[in-house]
Amino acid sequence: MRKIYTKIAACAIVLAPVTAIAQNLESGFFTDGYLYRHEMNPAIENSRNYIAMPLIGNINMGMSGNLGIKDVLFYRNGKTVLYTNPLVSADEVMNGISNRNRINTDFKIQILGAGFKAWGGYNTIGINVRGNESTIIPKSLFDITKNGLQNQIYDISDLNAHAHSYVEIALGHSRKINDKWRVGGKFKFLLGAGNMDANVTNGTINLSPDGYVANIDAELKGNITGLSYKTKLSEHNPGRRIVDGMDISGYKISGFGAAFDLGAEFKINDDWKVMASLIDLGFIQWKNTMLAATHGTINTNDYIFNVDDDEEHSFSNESERLGDQLATIYELEDKGDTGKRTTMLGATMNIGGEYVAPFYRKLTFGLLNTTRINGKYSWTNFRLSANVAPAKCFSAGVNFAYGTFGPSFGWIMSVHPKGFNLFIGMDHMFGKLAKQGIPLSSNTELSMGINFPF
């Protein structure tokens, strides 16, 4: 009976980090020599013009969450086993699982980019490929897959997954208003590649000694041009065709949209500066929405359990029948194309303050709050950093952050002699690795790029 839920949990855990959270390197926000601070606040001006090396000018890949490999894989008797293995105690598993388990992944790869001074300010151009995936897994799903169904109420309504990818063409401009203020903005034209949303909006299973009541409302919405669902006859409900995969006939633009970045800097005095920005305030309208859904309800008290394993109504036989019936309410039916749909990107707000050390003017300290505003997938973190630029050709910084997904350490190093710039940094250190080199924690990120300043 647990096979159904084990498959659901396994898919959610394994598929969540397939894309490689940090679309911008927060560790570089206060670092002199990092050319892409304008991606986090369009008011920020670089001291030099630059042209990015195509495809590798600015690469950001990472993952954040409160559920990691260490929470679902365990080392027993010289082997790595899944948390459902009998050698792993239920208490050990459940003590490490949160009520709301989240895994977020993001990637951002710049295809072309440049920045230059003109028209009374600083201007930027960028063409980027971006993607995001967010997953939420309720603790009750781990409880079912580890302990099996018992006489209690299970709520799995908070099982959600979202993924989208798109190309953005960004044009930015910033200018100095007076000795105190500098403002900036970007306009982004968006070409949608694809969008998927899977949500269990209502999911409760109430078991008692005499029967059970189960209600499941679940939907899968796909916005990819040429997408169609494969179907097959249900094994549990003869005559009913259910979704059994998907086909995509070619890859085309699936939607269009627009977004804005807005930012400002205020210089209090020679030692203090504050700044604020709102990034990715926008939307994408998708051409078509392929819907698959189930709205299943089972209410029964016709279970007769017999302690004799050889009887028709033995515990094993009745449990298997219960599992088969519960499986039917998770089977999605193809509802066809429901037309256009508009989705928001999920905006990011950055608020920061910077202090220049009076005893060494090349050393600065910064505090940055970054908050993703994206409904159930929202998150926030605070980052305290120390940054130094001892020479014109080198700058670096280290920082500590704490937020929705716990603590993390970050760093950045930028080498920028005349005509060349190489940066590399991490908002989240890898931490401990499994034998296969996979991070045990779900908090990890890497950013790097090569550019040519002039």
Write out the two tokens for 241: 């065709």
Give residue 446's pLDDT. Answer: 92
Number of domains in the chain: 1
Give residue 236's pLDDT. Answer: 67
Give residue 146's pLDDT. Answer: 78
Give dist(CA 215, CA 329) in Å, integer.
8
Alpha carbon of residue 268 to chain centroid: 36
Nearest by Cα to 27 from 289, 424, 399, 389 = 399
Give residue 305's pLDDT. Answer: 45
Give residue 322's pLDDT. Answer: 55
Domain membership of residue 297 as a residue range: 3-453
Write out the two tokens for 153: 């109420």
Which residues, 6 or more positions from 64, have their beta carbon under 8 angstroms from its beta carbon?
Answer: 21, 22, 103, 104, 105, 379, 405, 428, 442, 443, 445
Q: What is the CATH number of the domain that holds 118?
A: 2.40.160
Write out the two tokens for 318: 């009745």
| pLDDT of the chain, 454 residues: tens digit per residue | 444 444 444 444 444 443 334 478 999 999 988 999 999 999 999 999 999 999 999 999 988 888 887 888 888 888 878 888 888 898 988 988 988 899 888 999 999 999 999 999 999 999 999 999 999 988 888 887 777 666 677 787 888 999 999 999 999 999 999 999 999 999 999 999 999 999 988 888 776 666 667 788 889 999 999 999 998 888 766 777 888 888 888 778 999 999 999 999 999 999 999 999 999 999 999 999 999 998 766 665 554 444 455 655 454 555 555 555 555 666 788 999 999 999 999 999 999 999 999 999 999 999 999 999 999 999 999 999 999 999 999 999 999 999 999 899 999 999 999 999 999 999 998 766 666 566 667 788 899 999 999 9
DSSP state at residue 432: S
Q: Name the pTM for this structure.
A: 0.85
Give residue 250's pLDDT. Answer: 76
Give dist(CA 212, CA 148) in Å, integer.
15
Give DSSP secondary structure letters for 114-152. EEEEETTEEEEEEEEEEEEEEEEEEHHHHHHHHH---SS
